[in-house]
Amino acid sequence: MTLLTLQQITKNFGGLTAVDHIDLSVEKGTIHGLIGPNGSGKTTVFNLITGIYPLTSGTITFNGMDITGYPAFKVNQKGLARTFQEIQLFYDMTVLENAMMGCQRLTRAGAVAALVKLPWVTREEAFIREKAMAALDFVGLSGTAEEAARKIPYGHQRLLEVARALAGDPELLLLDEPAAGMNHAETRELMALIARIREMGITVFLVEHNMKMVMEICEWITVINYGQVIGHGKPAQVQADENVINAYLSGENITC
């Protein structure tokens, strides 16, 4: 079953076409990789899916629902969570509070509820806390729950972003270069974590530079260059694809 479908999505920045009629679909329950040389438009695709930029044309379907043109917050409410290449945390909040922010889509107490504070609001607050703690536990950060997010080490900040995304029980998790800046050991741990996430039934769609990691954990890989899809398939197929090799030869080595 297809969870996410991109049909002919295009994005123009001024005169520049960053994403050019891309078709792509992510199957439910898989780990799907999006790769391509630097500047090929990977992050832009993520930003288009999550509603950070409006599309120039094309449609996006998620879970059978047309989410084209949805603003970012609404996309998240439909069950799509993401992390960023450059970590985006709420730095002056605690680790726990950061994770609690991930539960927005599951909860509903607003300003009036906060003022009146009926019993269900208190229950909901406890539920949020529970979900957040569970997510922190899952990534192994529950020990630093009360620290300020600014204070924890870089690797942990990356994990915290994942925990925050997980706290809302998303159906699809978008990871934008999750291994960036990590050393070898940390990368291995991350790969294990991603595998565990998939085991929970969450589909993972990731952009990554680390080819070894992508080839190892992804079931499906889509390759883009200059905003266009140049290859698609299982890791082995992609590795053998001539177009892909050419694209990478001019840039970097695919087997690094």
Partner 1 sequence: MDFVTIPQLAFSGLTIGCVYSLVGLGFALTLRATELINFAQGEMVMLGAFIGLTLISFFHLPYIMVFILSIILTGIFGMFMERFILRRILDNKSPLLNLLIATLGISISLQALAIILWGREPVPYPDIFSVEPVMFFGIRLQHLNLWILCLGLASMAALQFFFQKTMTGISWRAASLDPSTAALYGVNRQRNVSLTFALSGALGGGAGVLIAPLYFASFGMGHSVLVKSFAAAAMGGFGVVGTMIGGLALGAIETLAAGLISSEYKNVIMYVILLAVLMVFFRPKTPTGRSITEGSKVAAGRAVNLFSADMPFWIRPSALLLGAAVWLIIPAVFDVYTMRILNLALIFAVAALGLQLIVGYTGQFSFGHAAFFGIGAYTSALLAIQLNLPFLLTLPLAGAAAGLVGWLAGPLLRLSGHFLAIGSLAMGEIIFLLMLNWKWLTKGAYGLYGIPFPSIFGFEISSDYAYYFLVTMVLGLICFLVHRLTDSRFGRGLIAVRENELAAMVNGINLISQKTKAFVIGTACAGIAGALYAHYVTYINPDSFQFHVSVEMVTMVVIGGLGSVPGSLIGALVIILLPEYLRGLADYRLVVYGGLLIGFMMYLPGGLADLARYPLRILRQRLQKNVREVTQ
Q: Which two tokens stand for residue 114?
A: 């906060």
The smaller minimum CB distance to partner 1, of residues 82 and 223, is found at 82
From the CB of 230, what's the least distance to partner 1, in Å? 27
The smaller minimum CB distance to partner 1, of residues 57 and 122, is found at 122
The smaller minimum CB distance to partner 1, of residues 120 and 201, is found at 120
From the CB of 170, what's the least distance to partner 1, in Å? 10
Q: What are phi and psi of 4, to 5 degrees?
A: -130, 130
List the one residue out of 90, 179, 79, 128 whose CA is nearest residue 70.
79
From the CB of 70, what's the least distance to partner 1, in Å? 11
Place of tokens 């799907």: 32
What is the amino acid identity at position 53? Y
The smaller minimum CB distance to partner 1, of residues 22 and 121, is found at 121
The smaller minimum CB distance to partner 1, of residues 89 and 254, is found at 89
Rounded Cα distance between 210 and 125, Å, is 39
From the CB of 206, what's the least distance to partner 1, in Å? 16
Interface ranges with partner 1 (CB under 8 A): 50, 52-53, 71-77, 81-82, 84, 88-94, 97, 100-102, 104-105, 107, 109-111, 113-115, 117, 121, 124-125, 128, 148, 150, 164, 168
List the one residue out of 202, 124, 125, 210 whose CA is nearest residue 163.
202
Specify burial of residue 213 (Cβ count, 10 A radius: 0-12, 13-18, 19+): buried
| Residues 167/132, Cβ–Cβ less than 8 Å | yes
Rounded Cα distance between 252 and 142, Å, is 39
From the CB of 104, what's the least distance to partner 1, in Å? 3
